[in-house]
Amino acid sequence: MIPAFVLLGKWLEQKATVKTGDAIASILNRTPKWAMVMRDGVATELPVELIKVGDKVRVRAGETIPVDGVVTKGSSTVDEKLISGEPIPVEKEIGSIVYAGTINGTGAFTMEAQSVGSETVLGNIIETIRKAETEKPPIRRIADKIASIFVPVVGLLSLLTFLLWYFFGGDGDADAVSFAIRCAVSVLVISCPCALGLATPTALTVLIGETAKRHILIRKAATMELLPHITTVFLDKTGTITAGMPEVVSEKWHISTEEQPFYQSVLYTLERESTHPLADAICRFLADTHKEEHSFTSINTVVGKGIEAELEGKKYRIGNASFVGTTLSTSSGTDVYMTCEDSLIVHLTIEDRVTEESREAITDMQKMGLKVVLLTGDNELSAQYAASVSGIQEYHAGLLPSEKLSIVQSAIDRGEKVAMIGDGINDSEALSYAHVSASFASGSDIAISVADLTFLKHDLRLFPKTIQMMEQGLKTIRLNFFWALIYNALAIPIAAGVLFPIWGIFITPALSGAAMAFSSLSVVSNSLLLKKRLHGK
């Protein structure tokens, strides 16, 4: 009966535990097993494992892309929801980057493999999840320590139970010896530390899988315990609370409406030739306007100031206020002016907008009682505006990377539990020093490498969501510990026969096996309920 109950319990436990890995399994299944590889000009179906960097791979309509690479022929749309979280398919043409695990639309294309196997973006995600699953956070090490003490203690309790019943439970006859042995065995069987051992890993597996589904990668297991205790969150500005893509937010023309199309085309032509970082923003802004082609007599770029050019005998200038000779602006963004023969034509203001998602995330963090501080290398006016728009009370502007680090260090020295979120190289020092650090997958490589959390989707709301999920996960683990410990505290004395002299209640070794199996199953089932508790978070 004992082996039967134990095996039944293990079977039920294994069946329940398998469900905790569903999220990881679904990610693994996104990579196809076979692909059409061009070898010697002939398309050959080969296992994905045999694809090498530089191979040409043919991707047909509706197929899953097997490796990371660049499109060399054809065009299509690709569903990249697995990687970016965005539901809208992305247009792909020659030169576009495509990722393993994403799904091709109705077109067909040929791509050149650039990353294969575990080197792909999807491969890195899977390896990160596996590492987080196997790494032991402090709470799991506590469980191991408890178990290491628990086993010898139970052995001693079993021996003590036998001795007490043998010497004080009868006259030493055969029945007394048999009863003492049965009680000692019942103590050993019912107190199996399986429930303690399962309390943490089952809940962690569910938690890691559920966060992965929500485009949150946990790179360090200890983060799961640290996050709920965070008191202060430091945020970088550019690319963290802003979109990371400057755009024209206002335009003021100083000419008639009829003249605007001509000057728009002049502005577009000159900015298209410019290498300045803000030129793309202006071109995107003018993309839908009429674009007449112009042949300039000369075009000269003045580094740090702007562009000057000549067209049909007239001199044009595009750049900052001092370069074009106009009044300096005090706007929160970057001002770009265009003049013709020293007459002001248009004034554009360019900003990197604070996203709506960031505003919501900051509000959520503040409602959770967190202190939110903005750290940026931008000027005072830009920082003040971004802080005001996003609802942040404290900000620090014009910071060097070392100064960001100094502010984070000072907060830690004051006893605050600090989180730092940033995506640039200039954030990496502060990220590495914070108790918990987070970055976006679109950030710099060094920021991602030092971050404890990586958000695959550029959405700051994932951070407060992660905190809520970690809190729920820790509650589940603590509840698992409670049930495992309370079970042993109640079951061991009963198995030892303390109720037998009073009410004649006695648990046989077979029933002890059933109770032990039930305790392990109850802990696993409670961990599986974590999925429901996380629903909607």
What pLDDT sits at residue 358?
A: 93
| Percentage, residues of the chain above pLDDT 70 | 83
Q: Which comes out higher in pLDDT, residue 82 or 431?
A: 431
> Of 69-78, 322-331, 333-342, 474-483, which range is least confident?
322-331
Residue 112 confidence (pLDDT) above 90: yes
What is the C-alpha separation between 147 and 8, in angstroms, rounded?
A: 23
If you average pLDDT over residues 38-50, what whole number do you get? 87
Residue 244 confidence (pLDDT) above 80: no
pLDDT tens digits for range 511-530: 777 777 777 777 778 877 88
Q: Which comes out higher in pLDDT, residue 100 or 304?
A: 100
Q: Which comes out higher in pLDDT, residue 396 or 24?
A: 396
Tokens of 91: 């247009």
If you average pLDDT over residues 234-258, what whole number do you get? 87
SS3 per-residue string spanning 354-369: ECHHHHHHHHHHHHCC
Strands 68-79 and 97-98: antiparallel
Residue 140 confidence (pLDDT) above 70: no
Considering 55, 236, 427, 459, which one is annotated as catalytic? Answer: 236
If you average pLDDT over residues 464-478, what whole number do you get? 89
What pLDDT sits at residue 141?
A: 65
What is the C-alpha separation between 104 and 114, in angstroms, rounded?
A: 18
What pLDDT sits at residue 234?
A: 96
Write down the mean pLDDT value for the chain.
81
| Percentage, residues of the chain above pLDDT 90 | 23
pLDDT tens digits for range 267-284: 998 888 776 767 888 888
Among this protein's residues, is 236 annotated catalytic?
A: yes
Single-letter amino acid code for the residue at 56? K
Are the CB atoms for 297 and 311 separated by under 8 Å? yes
Q: What is the DSSP letter of 15?
A: H
What pLDDT sits at residue 2?
A: 46
What pLDDT sits at residue 383?
A: 84
